[in-house]
Amino acid sequence: MCQHNPDCPAADDPACQAAVVVAPHPDQGWSLLCNGVVLFEDTGALLPDGSSIAPQHLSSPVTA
């Protein structure tokens, strides 16, 4: 699976978005990480188990 050194964080790790990009798709706005996480250019992410991580808009007002 992961052959990087040090190992990439697992998909269920809080730092999962720090894994190595193995398949960048900048034209489509997302990248596949080594641990199976899909990272979007808006900083959101989709985990292999189907759950998602909301984008971080630190400087934007919350509209939800």
Count the residues of the shown chain that bind Zn ion, applying the rule CB under 5 A. 5
Q: How far is the CB of 25 from Zn ion (least distance, A)?
A: 18
Q: In one letter, which amino acid is 18?
A: A
Distance CA 49, CA 51 (A): 6
Query: Rounded to whole angstroms, what are the CA distances from 47 to 3, 31, 59, 61, 62?
Result: 20, 12, 25, 25, 23
If one asks whether residue 4 binds Zn ion (CB under 5 A), the answer comes out as: yes
Binding-site member from 11, 16, 34, 37 for Zn ion (CB under 5 A): 34
Q: How far is the CB of 41 from Zn ion (least distance, A)?
A: 20
**Choices 5-13, 24-32, 38-46, 47-55 (CB under 5 A): range interacting with Zn ion:** 5-13
How many angstroms from the chain centroid is the CA of residue 33?
A: 7
